[in-house]
């Protein structure tokens, strides 16, 4: 049995089991995983759930998935909603592009990583597409014209897990999500910080 059929079968089982509890289904993903989440959300709405079960896809940095006909199919399902969190300078979200017949699917929630005072003015397209950077900006987003202010307790150090997008004065090493995390540890508040230097014992003479 394919993974798709296993997923649809399991979802049908769970919907039947919890039919008296107003169930809902949420899928999420980033980049390629975002496209898969969009397709899976549509597939579930089409083949596994009833119209009274909300199906939502919350995706980040999603390349364009289908053409206008597919968009119309998604829109046809009143219980299916797609929210696309997209960095305005992220190039990958613009492809494959209209010349090949592709269109945007769902509602775009457009953010701008340039609004964060913690991030470098990077010229690296990989930084523009970075999931942790997008989550960081969402945590402080107050609209296109609003002031960036972190309203959600989320460590800024997470931005640099696999890149060097944070400004140097943040004192977070780049690409630290490796063995021993380049000295990064969680303190008692749950914040990621550089581990304190251990004092070496004085030699005994």
**Residue 52 among the catalytic residues:** no
Q: Which of 44, 34, 50 minimizes the C-alpha distance to 9?
A: 44
CA distance linking residue 202 with residue 52, whole number of Å: 70
Contacts of residue 130, defined as CB under 8 A and 6 or more positions apart, other chains included, come to 159, 162, 163, 165
Which of 30, 84, 129, 136 is an active site residue?
129
**Residue 31 among the catalytic residues:** yes
Which of 30, 49, 84, 90 is an active site residue?
90
67 to each of 40, 82, 138, 160, how far by Cα in Å? 16, 15, 28, 35
Measured in Å, how far apart are the chain's first and last C-alpha atoms? 71
Which of 31, 49, 116, 155 is an active site residue?
31
**Residue 24 among the catalytic residues:** no
Peptide bond into 111 cis (omega under 30): no
Tell me which residues are annotated as active site: 31, 90, 129
């Amino acid at each position: 049995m394919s993974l798709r059929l296993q997923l649809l079968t399991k979802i049908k089982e769970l919907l039947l089991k919890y039919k008296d509890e107003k169930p809902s289904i949420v899928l999420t993903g980033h980049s390629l995983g975002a496209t898969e989440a969009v397709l899976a959300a549509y597939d579930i709405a089409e083949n596994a759930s009833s119209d009274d079960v909300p199906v939502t896809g919350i995706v980040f940095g999603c390349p364009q998935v289908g053409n206008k006909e597919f968009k119309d199919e998604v829109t046809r399902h009143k219980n299916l909603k797609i929210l696309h969190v997209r960095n305005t300078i992220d190039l990958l979200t613009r492809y494959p592009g209209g010349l090949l017949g592709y269109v945007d699917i769902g509602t775009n929630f457009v953010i701008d990583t340039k609004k964060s005072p913690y991030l470098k003015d990077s010229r690296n397209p990989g930084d523009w597409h970075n999931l942790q950077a997008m989550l960081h900006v969402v945590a402080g987003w107050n609209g296109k014209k609003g002031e960036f202010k972190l309203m959600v307790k989320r460590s800024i150090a997470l931005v640099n897990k696999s890149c060097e997008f944070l400004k140097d004065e943040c004192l977070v090493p780049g690409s630290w999500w490796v063995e021993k995390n380049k000295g990064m540890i969680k303190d008692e508040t749950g914040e990621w910080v550089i581990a304190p230097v251990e004092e070496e014992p004085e030699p005994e003479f």
